Amino acid sequence: MVIVEFLIKLAQGFGIGALALATGLLFGGIGRKIMARIQRRYGPPFTQNYIDLFKLFSKGSVSHGWAFDLGLVAGFAPMLAALMFLPIGPFTLLPSDSSLIMIVYLMMMAYLGMAMGVLASGNPNSAIGMSRALMLMTGYEVPFAAVIFSVYLFSKTGYLTQIVAQQAGGFMNWNIVKMPLGFLAIEIALQGMLGEKPFDQAIAPAEIASGPMVELGGKYLGFGMIQHSVGLFLETGIVVDLFLGGAPNFWIFIAKQFVLYFIVILVDAILPRLRIHESTSFFWKLPLFLGILQAVIVIIQGGVLNV
């Protein structure tokens, strides 16, 4: 029985993974299309990312040794694993473990794996890119953490499933209404998390030859693309669950995710790239202030749990 249950979960897990990947790639494709329209171009078909991924997996590539291979696999496997704990619409594969901080740390494992892979290639451009990515991370993760903690205090639970459940019953119950400042902070942090302009210093094609991806080709780049797409799904999904009340079904869920991504794309389209230390300190100013202010408001409203 246990085995049957496990196999069912496994199949569902694959389903979720495939769905998230498909959605992430679709978002990427639509994002490219929107970007093109903003720039008054026709743009690639919105299926372009699928074609690109297919091509990458059919193309030859170079490897710099087993650490390179392992790193790239470790770059997307934990992302996929983290997905299993995310409430997607009404469905969560493993609801009893959907602890938010755990998901955040699993995502970090993906970044660690990716970093190991690209740094094993031995190219200084990838090292510079990685150093920038990590420095940026010290920026956006801090307001992100402040917001996570205020949600913890507000909802008095760490389960994403319960946070979603508490927001049931209409727009006025959503956390975005109850914690608008927190939402604002996390939306700005999302811009950095997704590495879109003005925070795309890590992957600066004309400056450091696309940074971490400099030695990636073929399937390795494909793995990078999967990581980015699944990460896109996961990060927007977390924000939807935290602030936009989850969703009654999958379609509404991705619609809400898309709204978030759409904002990110619009900002991406109009802003130039900042310098790395400027963007890090930016995150420590306005978004962190908003996040902390939100937490303080929650605490004053009686969010403190006396133990």
Non-local (6+) Cβ contacts of 139 within 8 A are 192, 199, 279, 280, 281, 282, 283, 284
Segment 149-178, which members bind other proteins (CB under 8 A)? 149-150, 152-153, 156-159
Using the contact rule CB under 8 A, the part of the chain among 183-191, 205-213, 247-255, 264-272 near other proteins is 205-213
Quote the tokens at residue 75. 């770059």
Binding mask 269-298 for other proteins (x = CB under 8 A): ------xxx--xx--x---x--xx--xx--
Which whole-number Å values give the CA distances from 84 to 11, 16, 50, 130, 292, in the listed order? 12, 7, 22, 27, 30
Which whole-number Å values give the CA distances from 8 to 1, 15, 172, 197, in the listed order? 11, 10, 37, 41
Segment 226-265, which members bind other proteins (CB under 8 A)? none
Does the footprint of other proteins cover residue 138 (CB under 8 A)?
yes
Quote the tokens at residue 262. 């759409």
Does the footprint of other proteins cover residue 137 (CB under 8 A)?
yes
Quote the tokens at residue 15. 């389903």
Q: For residue 18, how far is the Cα from the chain centroid?
A: 16
Using the contact rule CB under 8 A, the part of the chain among 48-56, 166-174, 189-197, 264-272 near other proteins is 48-56
Quote the least distance from Cβ 171 to other proteins, whole Å.
26
Does the footprint of other proteins cover residue 67 (CB under 8 A)?
yes
Of 63 and 197, CB closest to other proteins: 63
Does the footprint of other proteins cover residue 267 (CB under 8 A)?
no
Of 223 and 253, CB closest to other proteins: 223
Does the footprint of other proteins cover residue 213 (CB under 8 A)?
yes
Binding mask 105-134 for other proteins (x = CB under 8 A): xx-xx--x--xx--xxxxxxx-xx-xxx-x
Tell me how far apart the terminal alpha carbons of the chain are, to the nearest angstrom: 41
Question: How large is the greatest C-alpha to C-alpha distance in the chain, in angstroms?
Answer: 59
CB 29 within 8 A of CB 49: yes
Does the footprint of other proteins cover residue 59 (CB under 8 A)?
yes
Of 125 and 229, CB closest to other proteins: 125
Size of the site for other proteins (CB under 8 A): 115
| Interface with other proteins (CB under 8 A), residue from 7, 8, 11, 101 | 101
CB 40 within 8 A of CB 194: no
Does the footprint of other proteins cover residue 22 (CB under 8 A)?
no
Q: How far apart are CA 204 and CA 156, in angstroms?
A: 41
Residue 68 parent element (H or E): helix 66-83
